[in-house]
Structure 1
Amino acid sequence: MTSYSWSERFVVHDGVRLLCRDWGGSGTDVLLLHGLAGHSGEWDTTARLLRDSGHRVVAFDQRGHGGSERHPGDVSRAAYVSDVLAVVAELGLDRPVLVGQSLGGSTALLTAAARPGLPRALVLVEAGPDGAGPGLQEQIGGWLRGWPVPFPSREAAAAYLGGGKEPVGDGWAAGLEERADGLWPRFDPEVMVRSLDENATRSFWDEWAAVACPVLALLGQGEQGGIIGGEEYAEMARVQPSLHGVSLPGTGHDLHLERPQLLHRLVVDFLRSLSSRPSCLGAHSSS
């Protein structure tokens, strides 16, 4: 019988408290990293499926998010990476597969570059090494500050945040905090904006070239599309010829919420391919 049960664990790193969802399980370790303004609960369906298919699974609220420290002094890319290393060490994860969406994918990429021997593999969900430009913070900050909070109900929050996509709205709404006057975000928009300082001013192509483990890139391909364009993906594949990429028709940036079952299958198939072909994954592809 399957279960959504997980145990709450806390890791304190450099004075910053990090809330972890430890799903348990056995087999290859997997660490799940959510995106900007997100929360570890976004991965619940994927985490359960991975655990039930034979993996040890952990997700955590990254600094500034959810049940972790809301106002950390340091929100640099290096600080996010350092938190991953602390969680891996504290929870005893052995060469985990790092799975990250959006900013979580950036964190996973930078962790793999900084510690080439740490991850067994890397799964980037709507994430890549390209810089986003100086307008990114203004755009995202304006959106986050414009939320009509407090939301009167979870249904109202899901309708507003989902953009017409029920699974996406439900996923975002699940991360809200219930207070006496309604539902509020579990983050400070200004902390989120500061977390993008480096992404807005530079790219990470040198770090991408330093990644030594196998990589699966999952790309949204719907009406609104994802954030990884054809030119960026082509350059990613040129720099890392063994990159394996899959585009998911009908999905957008939050494809992990829209198609968690498909994401699970792709990750499991990818990891099985590593067992049969440990030296390389072959040419990149898109389907």
Structure 2
Amino acid sequence: MTSSSTDGWTERILVRDGVRLSCRDWGGSGPDTLLLHGLAGHCGEWDALAPLLRDAGHRVVALDQRGHGASDRHPEDVSRAAYVADVLALVAELGLVRPLLVGQSLGGHTALLTAAARPALPRGLVLVEAGPGGAEPGTAERIGDWLRAWPVPFPSREAAVAYLGDGKPVVGEGWADGLEAGDGGLRPRFDPDVMERSLAENSRRAFWAEWTAVDCPALAVLGQDGIIGGGEYAEMVRLRPGLHGLSLPGTGHDAHLERPDALGAAILDFVGRTDL
């Protein structure tokens, strides 16, 4: 593993099976916490939350998942199993001990599958706008088409924020932070085709068996206008009655960008109440 430092965090690079993985190590001397962003996102989405958790006594690491951000953008394998294997490799490489796994959207799904595959690994699981879901044929293709329709390159950061925020500047800022300067303007640090392939298994099946295999305390954080419906959440509770849950008022799917302070408080309250 190699590393380089910047303000507040250190970039660490791990290569697993030829795939370059980058993460931001925020340091801290307390219990380990690993943050996982969503599809087409980047680890910088946690830049407001990470120092809050670190300053509250956590050692915090945020991973750019394969295909995203500063990690390898064109990995051959983008299966759900490959994403999980990356998390396990990073945990081992950094010596993280029973980390709290926190993930938003597809990152939450990765965290869920990691907890299911290695029940003794995490001390807790936080799903932000994520769940076992249901088979939804065509979802991957629809999202891929949406990503390919972005008017890139964006001529300016302001244009990117306006388009990606869709009326929510704080969300637009978070997404714009994941862009890079290129010919003619700002471009995404992901390939839409890779993103579409990353969702292929989610389009084919649900993951309820994996949800029941999770053996650690879990918190589900929902956006008030998010994508996790009442039916899905009710089934999550039915299968795991000990599930902790809350909705963050005034937020949507990107609740972690809209209200990082409230999310941080919810995570710390969950950790304190469950004695993780």
TM-score range, shorter chain: over 0.9
Q: Distance in 2 between matches of 1:97 and 1:232?
A: 23
Alignment check: 8 A CA contact 1:125 1:219 kept: yes
Matched residue pairs, number?
271
Q: Helix, strand or coil for the counterpart of 1:65? A: coil
Instruction: Give the superposition deviation at 1:26.
Output: 1.1
TM-score (norm 2): 0.96
Q: Which amino acid aligns with 2:180?
A: E
> What's 2:235 paired with?
235
Q: Distance in 1 between matches of 2:238 and 2:130?
A: 16
1:189-228 equivalences under 5 Å are 189-221=192-224, 225-228=225-228
1:7-26 equivalences under 5 Å are 7-26=10-29
> What's 1:253 paired with?
253
Instruction: Give the superposition deviation at 1:200.
Output: 0.3
Q: Helix, strand or coil for the counterpart of 1:235? A: helix
Instruction: Give the superposition deviation at 1:4.
Output: 5.8
> What's 1:46 paired with?
49
Q: Percent identity?
A: 72
Q: Helix, strand or coil for the counterpart of 2:47? A: helix
Structure 1: segments with no counterpart, 5+ residues: 279-287
Q: Helix, strand or coil for the counterpart of 2:195? A: helix
Alignment check: 8 A CA contact 1:4 1:44 kept: no
Alignment check: 8 A CA contact 1:218 1:245 kept: yes
Q: Distance in 2 between matches of 1:219 and 1:33?
A: 16
When the two chains are superposed, the root-mean-square deviation of aligned CA atoms in Å is 1.1
Alignment check: 8 A CA contact 1:112 1:122 kept: yes
Which 10-residue stretch deviates more, 266-275 or 167-176?
A: 266-275
> What's 2:148 paired with?
145
1:103 to 103, 106, 110: 106
Alignment check: 8 A CA contact 1:4 1:48 kept: no
TM-score (norm 1): 0.93
> What's 2:177 paired with?
174
Q: Helix, strand or coil for the counterpart of 1:245? A: strand
> What's 1:268 paired with?
268
Instruction: Give the superposition deviation at 1:138.
Output: 2.1
| Cα distance per residue 1:230-261 (max 9 Å; x no partner) | 11111100100100000112110000000000
Instruction: Give the superposition deviation at 1:187.
Output: 0.3
1:91 to 81, 90, 94: 94
Taking a change above 3 Å as real, the CA distance of residues 124 and 176 of structure 1, as seen in their structure-2 partners, is same
Q: Distance in 2 between matches of 1:98 and 1:171?
A: 21
Instruction: Give the superposition deviation at 1:179.
Output: 1.6
Instruction: Give the superposition deviation at 1:130.
Output: 1.4
Instruction: Give the superposition deviation at 1:18.
Output: 0.3
Instruction: Give the superposition deviation at 1:195.
Output: 0.2
| Cα distance per residue 1:140-167 (max 9 Å; x no partner) | 1111000000001111101100010011
Taking a change above 3 Å as real, the CA distance of residues 33 and 256 of structure 1, as seen in their structure-2 partners, is same
Q: Helix, strand or coil for the counterpart of 2:96? A: coil
Instruction: Give the superposition deviation at 1:173.
Output: 0.2
Runs of 4+ in 1 over 2 A off after TM superposition: none
